[in-house]
Amino acid sequence: MSISLSDVKRIASLSRIAVSDAEAEATRAQLSGIFSLIEEMQAVDTAGIAPMSHAQEIVLRMRSDTVTEADQHEAFQKGAPQVEAALYLVPKVIE
């Protein structure tokens, strides 16, 4: 299966990954190779087979709605790129 350049740009944008025009061409070739491999799946008739999303048939556990974590924001924000007054800073999004 062949992926087009505009497909690559659309996927990259959905993935929030910047790609230059030169990278897009190399990526197009590699993704086309990967999708040719993936296409082998289409030959199998899977009508009536239930999808398997997980290896174990488990039911998610419930827990009581109580506070379990102590406030550790200082430790957790130590590695953040930009923090001020315990807030994460990002470029302005609202004018």
Partner 1 sequence: MFNSSLKELSAQLADRKISSVELTGEFLKRVDALNPVLNAFITVDPEASLAQARIADAMIASGRAGPLTGIPVAQKDIFCAKDWLTTCGSKMLSNFVSPYDAHVIERFNAAGAVNLGKTNMDEFAMGSSNETSFFGPVKNPWDIKAVPGGSSGGSAAAVAARMAPAATGTDTGGSIRQPAALCGISGIKPTYGLVSRYGMIAFASSLDQGGPMAKSAEDLAILLDAMAGFDGRDSTSLERQPEDYAKDLERPLAGLRIGIPAEYFAEGLSLDVERAVQAAISEYQKLGATIVEVSLPNTRLSIPVYYVLAPAEASSNLSRYDGVRYGYRSANYKDLAEMYENSRAEGFGAEVKRRIMVGTYVLSHGYYDAYYMQAQKLRRLIAADFAGSFEKCDVIMGPTSPSTAFDLGEKGDDPVQMYLSDIYTIAVNLAGLPGMSIPVGFGDNGRPVGLQIIGNYFSEAKMLNVAHQYQKATDWHSRMPNI
- Check residue 56 for interaction with partner 1 (CB under 8 A): yes
- Check residue 4 for interaction with partner 1 (CB under 8 A): no
Q: How far is the CB of 62 from partner 1 (least distance, A)?
A: 11
Q: What's the 3-state SS for the chain? A: CCCCHHHHHHHHHHCCCCCCHHHHHHHHHHHHHHHHHHHHHHHCCCCCCCCCCCCCCCCCCCCCCCCCCCCCHHHHHCCCCCEECCEECCCCCCC
- Check residue 62 for interaction with partner 1 (CB under 8 A): no
- The binding site for partner 1 (CB under 8 A) comprises 7-8, 11-19, 27, 30-31, 33-42, 44, 46, 49-56, 58, 60-61, 63, 72, 75-82, 88, 90-91, 93
